[in-house]
Chains A and B, each alone.
Chain A
């Protein structure tokens, strides 16, 4: 089964006269190991689609199967459980400022209280080394550059071995060099693990990392093409 299978998905915000449809009959499939970029103008529905696939919102109409689970009608507890199997990378990294890089990464493992503390820390350290941050483990986000913070964010997303990575503009806040490095790192890390990536981006510099680019406009997936 494909990690993501979306069929005739519709979504709207508001009620009555204020109701505004943001997704219209969107269908999308992402296969294992595939890197798919979602592009399109602001308000085209990219982020809403990402939040629905990420089980961050309830699905209203259509079908949204993620990692084998149908999300329409899914309870909050089921969505929380699914989110634990997804790696999230945010535009502003959203690291916890009072934790070190290692502790931030380990937070993705702390969800499972069974794992011993030593193992959690060892895995977090190894993951940070894998994203090129060996020696920076004990620094807090305030003492890391923008690119380094985003690498920590990638490490946090990947450390628990997710079945899927969802990323929202991960390079938007980075300069050209850092953005390119982060994008390629993300692709390499995901490819090495066979983890599919669905990434929203406006950044034309990173289109080259994609296996496929899906363009969205006015709530519809209007085109899908190889980069």
Chain B
């Protein structure tokens, strides 16, 4: 500084008085503000974080890593479950019959076809459509390689399935040995949409039978099948001659518009023998999902992966906050010395952890949306970002950072204001 200036007397300072000062100058405000209680520590934390860019970036990267890991795990989990639901989601019926011993629709136990006729006796039922499911061998028309494909046999006039592209295909599918190919099937089946566009209907080999591909539909691959082929039930049985026509796998029941679904379900239940259960569309979907979640390790694997992501993220954030507090111990001790309570410092640490949660989450979310696109393109799985999942991951990461902050707070005890002298 230049020459020492004579201190100008401040408005709140007693002028040259020898009497002791009051404890503190009276503030002009009168009402304690919650905002200040929360925002002042948050502002302090932000200034502290901002001052060390490299540390801030590494902390953000750590949170982002956790966000990515959790998003990908939850995304895969959801995509796999959704893919298992692909076929059911295009079913166009209010009620379904299935053998109670069937663990999943794609692993059906035989259901007597007669149950469909019985269902037709219930008032309000307009269609009871047997649906046949089986796996068969597909010969790639390009390179001759063999792949397993799922066959779906049903009455094409029934409208029990509403897959894109199916409208208008019913007359063609009624022809002998006619099939429709699912355009979302994996590319290992051959570039069928291009071939179809190029040639129109053409012959393909399914198991040991030559059939004619007469159209394209859109369903999507699943756990059980990388690709789908739709056909009439008659053509289904032509390909799979060993299948007993008296048994089906699923019956889709359509009701007259305005019919009470619950009442129809009760009525059907009352007439069905124990080899058939009656489920609504939602119940069938939930049953299928429950199977994949509980009877397979898939649910556990991805839940475990998500938990690992959160734990790794928490360790990273904890390490960063812990070392941050260690590096700023002297500053924290100074604040304690000048009258800040430990609670204020705890709010600073908590605010820092939550700022890191937000700063890591936002770029992590953007990156995940891009990665979902890439992975969905490569795997043909329905991997999409949903608001619900984004909110869930934000809550999880928020909790993760809060937990890391709570753990790191213990280090604040080492900030001893007496060490400042």
**Contact call B20/A161, Cβ cutoff below 8 A:** no
Interface of chain A residues 143 through 163 with chain B (CB within 8 A):
145, 147-148, 151, 156, 160-163
- Once bound together, how far apart are the Cα atoms of A145 and B420, in whole Å? 21
Query: Would you call A3 an interface residue if the criterion is a C-beta within 8 Å of the partner chain's C-beta atoms?
Result: yes
**Contact call B27/A119, Cβ cutoff below 8 A:** yes
**Contact call A161/B16, Cβ cutoff below 8 A:** no
Most buried by B among A50, A67, A90, A151: A90
Select which of A54, A108, A114, A129 is within 8 A of B29 by beta carbon: A114
Query: Given A108-B338, A194-B20, is A123 in contact with B12 using a C-beta cutoff of 8 Å?
Result: yes
Contacts of A85 in B (CB 8 A): 23-24, 339
- Once bound together, how far apart are the Cα atoms of A122 and B235, in whole Å? 87
- Once bound together, how far apart are the Cα atoms of A136 and B27, in whole Å? 25
Query: Within the complex, what minimum Cβ distance (angstroms) separates B351 from chain A?
Result: 14
Interface of chain A residues 92 through 142 with chain B (CB within 8 A):
94, 96-99, 103, 107-108, 110-116, 119, 123, 126-127, 129-133
**Residue ID in chain B nearest A122 by CB atoms:** B11
Chain A residues proximal to chain B, CB less than 8 Å: 3, 32-33, 47, 50-51, 54, 56-57, 67, 77, 80-81, 83-86, 88, 90-91, 94, 96-99, 103, 107-108, 110-116, 119, 123, 126-127, 129-133, 145, 147-148, 151, 156, 160-163, 168, 181, 184-185, 188-189, 191-196, 200
**Residue ID in chain B nearest A67 by CB atoms:** B23
- Once bound together, how far apart are the Cα atoms of A133 and B50, in whole Å? 25
Query: Would you call B5 an interface residue if the criterion is a C-beta within 8 Å of the partner chain's C-beta atoms?
Result: yes
Query: Within the complex, what minimum Cβ distance (angstroms) separates A118 from chain B?
Result: 9
Contacts of A77 in B (CB 8 A): 341
Select which of B1, B15, B33, B341 is within 8 A of A192 by beta carbon: B15
Query: Within the complex, what minimum Cβ distance (angstroms) separates B63 from chain A?
Result: 21
Query: Given A98-B51, A131-B7, is A80 in contact with B341 using a C-beta cutoff of 8 Å?
Result: yes
Contacts of B40 in A (CB 8 A): 110, 113
Query: Would you call B22 an interface residue if the criterion is a C-beta within 8 Å of the partner chain's C-beta atoms?
Result: yes
A-B contact pairs, 30 of them (CB 8 A): A32-B19, A33-B17, A33-B20, A47-B421, A51-B421, A54-B421, A56-B420, A56-B421, A67-B23, A80-B336, A80-B340, A90-B421, A91-B421, A107-B335, A108-B338, A114-B27, A116-B28, A119-B28, A119-B29, A126-B8, A129-B8, A130-B10, A132-B2, A132-B7, A161-B13, A161-B23, A161-B25, A162-B24, A163-B20, A192-B16
Query: Would you call B117 an interface residue if the criterion is a C-beta within 8 Å of the partner chain's C-beta atoms?
Result: no
**Size category, B interface:** 35 or more
Select which of B21, B30, B336, B337 is within 8 A of A195 by beta carbon: B21
**Contact call A51/B418, Cβ cutoff below 8 A:** yes
Contacts of A98 in B (CB 8 A): 47-48, 50-52
Query: Would you call B197 an interface residue if the criterion is a C-beta within 8 Å of the partner chain's C-beta atoms?
Result: no
10 more contacts with CB within 8 A, not counting A107-B338, A123-B12, A192-B15, are A83-B337, A97-B331, A114-B32, A115-B27, A115-B28, A116-B29, A119-B29, A133-B1, A188-B6, A193-B21
Query: Given A54-B421, A83-B339, A113-B37, is A185 in contact with B4 using a C-beta cutoff of 8 Å?
Result: yes
Contacts of B25 in A (CB 8 A): 123, 160-161
**Contact call A113/B32, Cβ cutoff below 8 A:** yes
**Contact call B47/A192, Cβ cutoff below 8 A:** no
Contacts of B31 in A (CB 8 A): 114
Query: Within the complex, what minimum Cβ distance (angstroms) separates A121 from chain B?
Result: 13
Contacts of A200 in B (CB 8 A): 421
Query: Would you call B263 an interface residue if the criterion is a C-beta within 8 Å of the partner chain's C-beta atoms?
Result: no
Query: Would you call B165 an interface residue if the criterion is a C-beta within 8 Å of the partner chain's C-beta atoms?
Result: no
**Contact call A54/B22, Cβ cutoff below 8 A:** no
Interface of chain B residues 35 through 88 with chain A (CB within 8 A):
36-37, 40, 47-48, 50-52
**Residue ID in chain B nearest A131 by CB atoms:** B7
Query: Would you call B417 an interface residue if the criterion is a C-beta within 8 Å of the partner chain's C-beta atoms?
Result: yes
Query: Would you call B123 an interface residue if the criterion is a C-beta within 8 Å of the partner chain's C-beta atoms?
Result: no
- Once bound together, how far apart are the Cα atoms of A146 and B183, in whole Å? 74
- Once bound together, how far apart are the Cα atoms of A193 and B394, in whole Å? 52
**Contact call B339/A84, Cβ cutoff below 8 A:** yes
